[in-house]
A and B are shown apart, each in its own frame.
Chain A
Amino acid sequence: MNHLSEEQLIDHYYGKAESSAAASKHLQACDDCARSYASLASDLGAIKPPSVPERSAAYGEEVWQAIRGTLPVYEPVKAKSHWNWLVLKPWSLAAAATACLLIAAAFFAGRQWEHRNSSIATHAVNADAGKQRVVLVVLGDHLDRSERLLVGLEHAEPSTEASLQAEARDILSANRLYRASLNQTDDPVLAAALDHLERVLVEVSNQPAGLSQTKLVELQKEMNTDGLLFEVRILRSRVQEDVDRNNAVAAKKGVSIL
């Protein structure tokens, strides 16, 4: 049988609930532990609490009066309630209404601004696209006329030389405009072709004695009109593809070509 330790006896003396029942049972059965416990109880029982001096009924009030002069007053702290936001004072209500109004105005203005910018951008894109389509169509016509002129020069006959020269002057003035416009764009191939075409047209237009067969042969050799005709045909087909593509896109967007 294991005897109770001094610590267990002390626990039992002070009535620790979990060990009290078992200790009581053991003390009834074990004389040694019972003697030890009796000795402990005697020693602890002899230690009496010192008698506490009496205090008058007004003791608490005396303590309070002794310290109250040194105590500051707490600032009232408003309890934070979850429903406080529902109780608005007039000024806060006005502030809230103003804030709501500003938010609504900002939202409306934002929508208007977005709508307007979007319209302007759409109109700008549509205008640019329309302008590009006009240029391509006109340029296509110009290249078509130039091609016919160059073909006419290839097969010129004395009876048609005068009309070819007149046509060349007419095309030349238009070609100057297109070339000047294309110099500002990023299409060097087309610009170079129109430049070449202009030099040919100038030579054809400015023959004071009119176009002779000999002069035409010289022009074909010097100015490489065959090569120019090939370039113009390629450019015309490319421009035609661009026109067709733009027309298809415009048809999808529901925008008329011209």
Chain B
Amino acid sequence: MEVNDHVIVRKVLDGDKEAYGTLVARHSPTVFRVAFRITGDEADADEVVQEAFLRGYQRLQTFESRSEFRTWIYRIAVNCALNMTSKRKVEATYQIGEETDPVTQQVQVADHAAGPERTLLSREIQSLQTAALGTLTPTERTAFLLRHMEDRSTAEIASVLEIAPNAAKQAVFRAVQKLRRSLAPLRVNP
């Protein structure tokens, strides 16, 4: 039977440091996933995971038992990841090698056959998406990632980013608008 997170937190605060290892093992995959989606880099995501659990341990006395440890460490991880992206200036890595001309370089995705061409095309689409995400502000990008990829509610996004719910909603809205403009060349004309 799995021990409740709150019980483990209590044990850690009572001097049982090793109990924290259980929490780390339990929540590392989730923390890594969100860290990777925000940073876009595997090594940075690993570093974010370690930093998040380190900060979590240091602030464990401020953890309130009425909240969930999973949500709490998730919020810390998002903040660590945002700090990491600012530090690494990952926007530069999102730059693609070739300029896309909206008029002449529309990508046609009508082929259902799998093959080297399609694989190459998928990779190019992925690069364009990554570049489009790079044009967003950190708040817009994180809000969009949490909404679109992590399926978090507006309230949860607001809580993680420590902003008002309406501001979180507007951040998602602006992100979608910018992404649609950036990814317009990928649209298949009817």
Contact = CB atoms under 8 A, between A and B. Distances in A.
A75 B21 contact: no
A120 interface: no
Interface string A42-68: 111011111011010001110110111
Contacts of A50: 36-37, 40, 126, 130
Given A63-B24, A68-B17, A46 B32 contact: no
B113 to A, nearest CB: 19
A72 B33 CA distance: 27
Contacts of B154: 16
Contacts, number: 103
Interface stretch (B46-54, B82-90, B97-105): B46-54
B14 A77 contact: yes
B50 A67 contact: yes
A10 interface: yes
Contact of B148 (A47, A52, A61): A47
B17 A43 contact: no
A22 interface: no
Contacts of B25: 60-61, 63-64
Given A52-B36, A73-B17, A46 B12 contact: no
Contacts of B172: 10, 14
B176 A63 contact: no
B121 interface: no
A59 B29 CA distance: 8
Interface string B17-41: 1101100111111001100110010
A4 interface: no
B77 to A, nearest CB: 12
Interface of B: 12-15, 17-18, 20-21, 24-29, 32-33, 36-37, 40, 42, 45, 49-50, 53-54, 57, 60-61, 125-126, 129-130, 147-149, 154, 169, 172-173, 176-177, 179-180, 183, 186-187
29 contacts: A6-B176, A7-B173, A10-B176, A14-B147, A14-B148, A16-B154, A42-B187, A43-B183, A46-B129, A46-B183, A47-B148, A47-B179, A49-B148, A50-B36, A50-B130, A52-B36, A59-B28, A59-B32, A60-B24, A60-B27, A61-B21, A61-B25, A64-B53, A67-B24, A67-B53, A68-B17, A68-B20, A74-B12, A74-B60
